[in-house]
Amino acid sequence: MKTKIVQSTILFAALLILSSCNSNKKEEVVAELEPKIETFALAKAKLNTDLRLPAELSGFSQVDLFAKVNSYVKTLKVDIGSNVKKGQLLIELEAPEISSQLAAAESRLHSQEAVYTASNSTYQRLLETSKVEGTISKNDLDLAFAKKNSDFAQLSAARAGHREIKSVQGYLQIRAPFDGKVTARNVNIGAYVGQGAQIPLLTVQDQKKLRLSISVPEAYTGYLKVGDVIDFNVVSLRGETFKAKISRMAGALDLKLRSERVELDVVNTNDKLLPGMVAEVILPLNSKKETFVVPKSAVINTAEGIFLIKVINKKAQRVKVSLGLEVDDKIEVFSDSLQENDVLLSKANEEIKDGDEIK
């Protein structure tokens, strides 16, 4: 009997020990399942990244040449691809009626010159004679003076008319307005051209210097300034990277695209780049000063706004922020409610509300 009691006691003690071990294990498992709340101290830093945008190359100077007067193409001295110099004759036009008008204007001019010469000589003789008292009446002298002035006015009008026809005749010669290359030709010898034409005779572009035009979104305009060196590349020249400086910034946003036009001057001495090419521009976005930087996991984006969760006296407090640059898993945040060394949650979520206890 005693032996049975001892065995029962030993068995009961073993069961107590086992249950105690199991409860300890359960507590450890429960403890391990409880999520750890990670925090960090807010600090400032500078973020540097880049933005890739499409851009377009165009000739630094480009002009479409039209005929100002109705005429025919007499000679065509250039073709597509011709390099031209400023003032070089490109097209010579022919308009017979203008030659006739010029001849008539020259005749009127010579005639009026003769009339004025005669009336002026008459007045000068009468003026000299009138110096002898009683020889010429004052009325005759005044009439001669008026006739001379009238003829001079007619002569001036004839000269103006002659200059006008002469300038119109000058439009029959179309010359290059600057050094460049002919990139389009839309006429042939004998073609009738004139006012109201929709298609230009020639297109001339300056290709030794190109414009690279970019539309920079509003959010990134503050990171660029005139003089910044920008890298870009084009599809047709893979593996090559070109450099250019920002030369002009519009200083205003396009109302439709909400972007600022930025232009770079590209020196194209080797003629590798062509106007019309589409380029990919790599814009460096460098923070101008140190700002608050947090992990992206610390940011909560809700319908009510964008928040961080700050820990104050072990209590959660939402802080509304605006975002800046993103680099890898870091992001700039801006808020007047943030100070250096504030304690923030590293991994925030929408379930955490203001006043929740943070352990």
Tell me the pLDDT tens digit for each residue of 26-38: 444 444 444 567 8
* 55, 96, 120, 124, 125 from 138: Cα distances, Å: 80, 51, 17, 14, 14
Tell me the pLDDT tens digit for each residue of 267-281: 988 888 999 899 999
Residues in Cβ contact with 308 at an 8 Å cutoff, skipping those fewer than 6 apart: 294, 298, 299, 300, 318, 319, 321, 333, 335, 338, 344, 345, 348
Q: Tell me how many degrees the CA angle 292-296-298 measures, rounded to the nearest 5.
A: 80
Tell me the pLDDT tens digit for each residue of 327-341: 878 888 888 888 888
Q: Is 37 exposed, middle or buried (0-12, 13-18, 19+ CB in 10 A)?
A: middle
| pLDDT score recorded for residue 138 | 84
| pLDDT score recorded for residue 23 | 46
| pLDDT score recorded for residue 262 | 93
Tell me the pLDDT tens digit for each residue of 66-93: 998 888 999 999 999 999 999 999 999 9
Q: What span, in angstroms and rounded, lies between the C-alpha atoms of 146 and 245? A: 67
Q: What span, in angstroms and rounded, lies between the C-alpha atoms of 307 and 344? A: 11
| pLDDT score recorded for residue 4 | 46
Q: Which two tokens stand for residue 91?
A: 């097209």
**345, 37 in Cβ contact below 8 A?**
yes
Lowest mean pLDDT among 8-17, 101-110, 253-262, 285-294: 8-17
Helices (H), the chain: 2-33, 96-129, 138-170
Instruction: Indicate the average pLDDT of the chain.
Output: 84
pTM greater than the 0.75 cutoff: no
The mean pLDDT value for 234-250 works out to 89
| pLDDT score recorded for residue 36 | 63
* 103, 174, 211 from 168: Cα distances, Å: 13, 12, 34
HSE-CB of 89 using CA atoms within 13 angstroms: 11
| pLDDT score recorded for residue 185 | 93
Residue 203 pLDDT greater than 90, yes or no: yes
Q: Is the model more confident about 84 or about 15?
A: 84
Q: What span, in angstroms and rounded, lies between the C-alpha atoms of 297 and 74? A: 74
| pLDDT score recorded for residue 92 | 93
| pLDDT score recorded for residue 91 | 94
| pLDDT score recorded for residue 98 | 82
The mean pLDDT value for 38-42 works out to 86
Residue range 52-60+206-286 forms a domain whose CATH class is mainly beta
The mean pLDDT value for 102-112 works out to 88
Domain range annotation of the chain:
52-60+206-286, 65-175, 290-345
Report how far Cα 4 is from the mean position of its chain's Cα atoms: 100
Tell me the pLDDT tens digit for each residue of 136-151: 888 888 888 898 899 8
Residue 104 pLDDT greater than 50, yes or no: yes
Report the share of the chain in percent with pLDDT over 70. 90
CATH tag for 290-345 (out of 2.40.420.20, 3.40.50.300, 2.40.30.30, 2.60.40.60)? 2.40.420.20
| pLDDT score recorded for residue 35 | 54
